[in-house]
Amino acid sequence: MERSGGPKESAAAGFDEQNFAMLQLEQDSAAPLWFKEMLKMRELLDKIETWRQQGQRVALATVVKVYGSAPRPLGAKMAISSLGDMAGSVSGGCVEGAVFEEAQVCLKKRQPKLLSYGITDESAWSVGLACGGQIEVFIEPLGDESGRIDLPENQLFDLLAKQIRSEKYCMQITILGGEWVGRKLILPADGKPVGSLGNNELDLLAAGQTTDVRQQQQSRRFELDWAAQKLDLFVDVFPPRDRMIIVGGVHIAIPLVRFAKMLGFHTTVVDARAVFGSRDRFPDADELVVAWPAEALEKMDINESTYIVVISHDDKLDTPAIRSALLSKARYIGALGSTRTHSKRVAALKDMGVSDELIKRIHAPIGLNIGALGAEEIALSIMAEVVRVKRNFSN
């Protein structure tokens, strides 16, 4: 198997509105994808670690409720240091100043706080959301979790950071209010839960409510009846980064790699034919693998954030690759070909011992039906279907 790979920041005494506005402008413009993506949770970790190594205390603000239209999604985060540094965003600039000030109070009192922001007057330009929506933001000092039980200060966050950096799927449940506010339970995908919401029975009950959250890969807030009270809980989801594996370095794959990269996917092209999987054909692909696709897929770490697109249009490459994909945890498996071609493929897969239940996972013919013609439009239809699956959207 052959593979090929392909601002300075200053501390501030307070919220620097001008610098933040410039940062948002760069994010929303034609900035490189790495710049747009760097403020997500994984990239915040390096910043938080640096601040802590400098002896600064850190607060983390998380969007835990969205009503109507809002510029940032559920789970969006912003980190604030005790010396006035910040990174990330919870509203795209609308309420960051207010969150910054509240975070400083939380750091001083060492207590978490749940806040609500929306339209505050007719002009909607004071501390509120100009888009007309409303958000709730949970601000907490890192390392001061009241639910850490016998864990040393900061260890819960360190364990979470380790899971995220290792590209392992994990979830974190946090109590947002009441006497147990701030208590946490971390749920690794392949390990024992860490931390506690209070006791084992409550931990099991809360963890049992996260099945749909894990499948949909979307953070969620819910209430749980416990000991004559309603607990306000937020499940934060940290899936591995999205990855698209394209089987077949055919012409359609060229624009598909570009579209996938634009949407933040790590892209891998697999083809047994070196001439089809060359760097000249795919200068933007993150990884090129020259090997039999089925064998290559079996050696890859395929998880719940992996999307596999099989488009070589060569049965001896496609069918074994689809079989390997169906035995994996891939979230999406799509295959190029007409309805007639897919029927033949299904028969071949059954002959290989693949069950009807697994075969139902295949999206075929691949892509949304938009009347696509030509490589670019077909690639667009494939990308549209992938996004639809990613967003759990149905009409």
Residue 265 lies in a domain: yes
User: What is residue 336's three-state secondary structure?
Assistant: coil
Top-confidence range, 17-21, 142-146, 232-236 = 232-236
pLDDT of residue 154: 65
In the structure, what pLDDT confidence band is assigned to residue 340 with cuts at 50, 70 and 90?
Answer: very high
d(CA 319, CA 251) in angstroms, rounded, equals 19
pLDDT at 79 over 50: yes
pLDDT at 309 over 90: yes
pLDDT at 366 over 50: yes
Percent of the chain exceeding pLDDT 90 equals 53
352: which 2 tokens?
């290989």
Q: What is the pTM of this model?
A: 0.73
Q: Where is the domain boundary, 187, 216, 239?
A: 239
Choose among 192, 40, 183, 191: nearest CA to 111: 183
Residue 136 phi/psi, 5° resolution?
-115, 135
pLDDT at 131 over 70: no
Residues 74-79: contacts with CB under 8 Å, at least 24 apart:
74/218, 74/219, 74/220, 74/221, 75/219, 75/236, 75/237, 77/40, 77/41, 77/44, 79/44, 79/47, 79/48, 79/51
Residue 150 lies in a domain: yes
Same domain, 149 and 137: no
Residue 2 lies in a domain: no
Q: How many residues does the chain have?
A: 395
Same domain, 268 and 379: yes
Same domain, 223 and 160: yes
pLDDT of residue 21: 45
Residue 73 lies in a domain: yes
User: What is residue 297's three-state secondary structure?
Assistant: helix
Q: Where is the domain boundary, 124, 142, 160?
A: 142
Same domain, 151 and 127: no
pLDDT at 335 over 70: yes
Residue 127 lies in a domain: yes
Top-confidence range, 151-160, 190-199, 344-353 = 344-353
E-state strands within 202-255: 220-226, 229-238, 243-247
Same domain, 131 and 188: no
pLDDT of residue 70: 61
Residue 109 lies in a domain: yes
* pLDDT tens for each residue of 184-227: 999 987 778 988 998 899 999 999 988 888 778 888 999 998 88
Same domain, 171 and 134: no
Lowest pLDDT segment from 119-128, 189-198, 320-329: 119-128
Q: Domain with 386 in it: what CATH number?
A: 3.40.50.720
Which amino acid belongs to residue 224? L
43: which 2 tokens?
């990239």
* pLDDT tens for each residue of 8-60: 333 344 555 444 444 444 444 443 333 343 346 777 888 898 998 888 899 99
**Which domain, by its residues, includes 55?**
7-142
Residue 138 lies in a domain: yes
Same domain, 188 and 213: yes
Dihedral sign for Cα atoms in the order 138, 140, 146, 152: positive
pLDDT of residue 122: 40
* pLDDT tens for each residue of 64-75: 998 876 667 788
Report, as an integer, the average pLDDT of 346-366: 95
Q: Where is the domain boundary, 96, 120, 142?
A: 142
